[in-house]
Structure 1
């Protein structure tokens, strides 16, 4: 697999010079300065592509070309936004970029309640608490009938939290759930917005009456509309699983499990309609057998996120070591390295891009202003672990392992 890294553009505190020194081959990025829904021009794409290539790497994956909320809930401007999307896909292809990671999650991208949860070794990681998320839902967001979404045990924990949570705690929860994890990803909420909770309520209101079935149909409509362009220009769309992989805030989530993946692949049965296999998102759901899903859907996987989650007895979960947790990354490397062997005939997908994800915060990462979940040293540590896994698996399979930046035998 091609070792890639999510990079947030020329203003990212993690520079391309740093990345080429740690064995990164490909860059996963986007035109973060282009507002959602606008066309990505060839000029802007080429400028960033040339900049990446000047450091000896390639722009391997777009993560992401955002699917606007209006496409997801079928707003009146949906068709025009899809036309813009198709034009951006064409322009990316003409500049030699063929893999697009996107998501179809309404309003909220990945969700966590604690961005600095202490690990036993003194590092920190992302963490999801059902009780704290329910407290946010019921007491801060004040979503109508929110209590009906939660079990009696969780509601009892919410009552206990009401006695201890301070205004500062409430503010931090808002920051963690709808500001720090969303502003640099989806653009729906920005860090300088004065009333993020109210803006968030307005976004939720857009999905009133949208069922899981309706959201599925909206996804199918979008995919069917763009597939002719994908066929003509050989563009590989790979949807990211919902994170976490279960329903939240009364919103439908439609990429959470085996049945969901099977549905969207069959609904638009085209090889250009595929999956981003995020082992972390999938392993956060106790209902998912991650290794079995990898075996089943490897042939329709165009991008891999190598990370793993640990689920506690109470259902809360955290990012695990890249050598631990519910996702067996060693076995996943075997599955995807074998799958990659059959793709040599198509240069656009001959290498299967892989990136490590959501690394620990460690050794001063916290003071360097990195985006939440995207530390440098923590991800570099994870990359080293995964590089070792891939090198071992390649030797098992008799495949050469290339480490850029070193003298070759």
Structure 2
């Protein structure tokens, strides 16, 4: 696999020169300064591409070219927004940037309740506490009917949590979960969201065919129904459904082992084997799910992740891969990095995954 790194542009505290020194081969980034829904001009695309190439690297993956909320809920400006999206794809294709990661999660992107959950070794990780999330939903967001979405066990944990929760604790939850109010229309269900995703993909596939662009949707993170919002990329059946709905090989998957493993219902190594041929991008990380449903990031040496890496090394050599959601360590917590995107933690993770890849290839005689 190609060793890539998510980089947040020229203002990122982690420089391209630093990334070359630690063995990164390709860059995963986006034109973050362009508002969602506007066209990425060829000039702006080539400016970013040239900047990366001058550092001796290449722009391997766009993560992400955002899908506007109105496309997801079929708003009145959907078709114009799709035309803008197609024009951005054309400009990326002309510049030779041909792997596009995106998501179709309404309103809320990935969610965690703790961004610095302490580990015994002094590092920290992202963590998702189901009771805290339910508390946020019921008592802070005060979503009507929220209680119906949770089990009696979780509701009992919420009641216990309510006895000790203070204003600072509530503030922490709000800051960590970061609910985005982007005008999503209430009442849309999973079936309608699937139809809207199909409509979008069918509209852009001719451009993908013309420029050999691979679209790869990111699984929902976490792969659960949250805040009453429909989630449609959470499990084997969901993945099969969107791939079958638009069978064009340019319609593919970002295989995020971390997102998928956050659901105990997913056998991640088996999913990797099943969908390797439709995977265009790999996120190498993994989660441990607790008996109560909470989950946290696990080590990149987790045997399940080793199995995933083996699958893609054998079945999809050259596919872009990046590590993410690594521990905060060695002062990372003081640097103001985006949550989950530390330098030292990701560097350690990249070293681990690079070692796994080298071992697998040595076994193959490569």
Whether the TM-score (by the shorter chain) exceeds 0.5 is yes
Counterpart mapping for 1:10-159 below 5 A: 10-159=10-159
- Counterpart among 337, 340, 352 of residue 370 in structure 1: 337
Calculate the aligned-residue CA RMSD, in Å. Answer: 1.0
Counterpart Cα distance in 2 of 1:303 and 1:95 = 19
Structure-1 residue corresponding to 2:218 = 240
Q: 2:239 — aligned with what? A: 261
- Decide which of 331, 334, 339 is 2:315's aligned counterpart: 339
SS at the partner of 1:163?
Answer: helix
- Quick one: which of 252, 258, 276 aligns to 1:298? 276
State the shift of 1:260 in Å: 0.3
In structure 2, which of residues 340, 350, 353 is the aligned counterpart of residue 383 of structure 1?
A: 350
2:188 is aligned with 1:210? yes
**Aligned-pair CA distance for 1:169:** 1.0
Secondary structure, in 3 states, of the residue corresponding to 1:161?
helix
Q: TM-score, normalised by structure 2?
A: 0.98
Structure 2 CA distance for aligned equivalents of residues 279 and 237 of structure 1: 18
Q: Is 1:229 aligned to 2:204, yes or no?
A: no
Name the CA distance, whole Å, in 2 between partners of 1:228 and 1:398: 40
Following TM superposition, by how much is the alpha carbon of 1:313 offset from its aligned partner in structure 2, in angstroms? 1.4
d(CA) in 2 for partners of 1:84 and 1:390? 39
Q: Which runs of 5+ in 2 are unaligned?
A: none
Secondary structure, in 3 states, of the residue corresponding to 2:55?
Answer: coil
Unaligned runs of 5+ in 1: 180-188, 190-199, 342-350, 400-409
Query: Hey, what's the Cα distance between the residues in 1 that align with 2:13 and 2:93?
Result: 28
CA contact (8 A) 1:207 1:251 kept: no
* Residue 352 of structure 1: aligned partner: 319
Of 262-271 and 161-170, deviating more is 161-170
> Is the Cα–Cα contact under 8 Å of residues 276 and 316 in structure 2 kept in the other structure?
no
Distance 2:14 2:288 in 1: 27
Q: Secondary structure at the match of 2:283?
A: strand
Aligned to 1:281: 259
Aligned residue-pair number: 366
Distance 2:79 2:43 in 1: 24
- For the Cα contact (< 8 Å) 1:6–1:29, is it kept in 2? yes
- Report SS of the residue matched to 1:5: strand
Distance 2:185 2:355 in 1: 44
Q: Structure 2: how far apart are the matches of 1:100 and 1:24? A: 19
Q: Distance in 1 between matches of 2:309 and 2:265?
A: 22
TM-score (norm 1): 0.88
Structure 1 Cα separation of the partners of residues 172 and 10 of structure 2 = 29
2 CA distance for matches of 1:340 and 1:209? 40
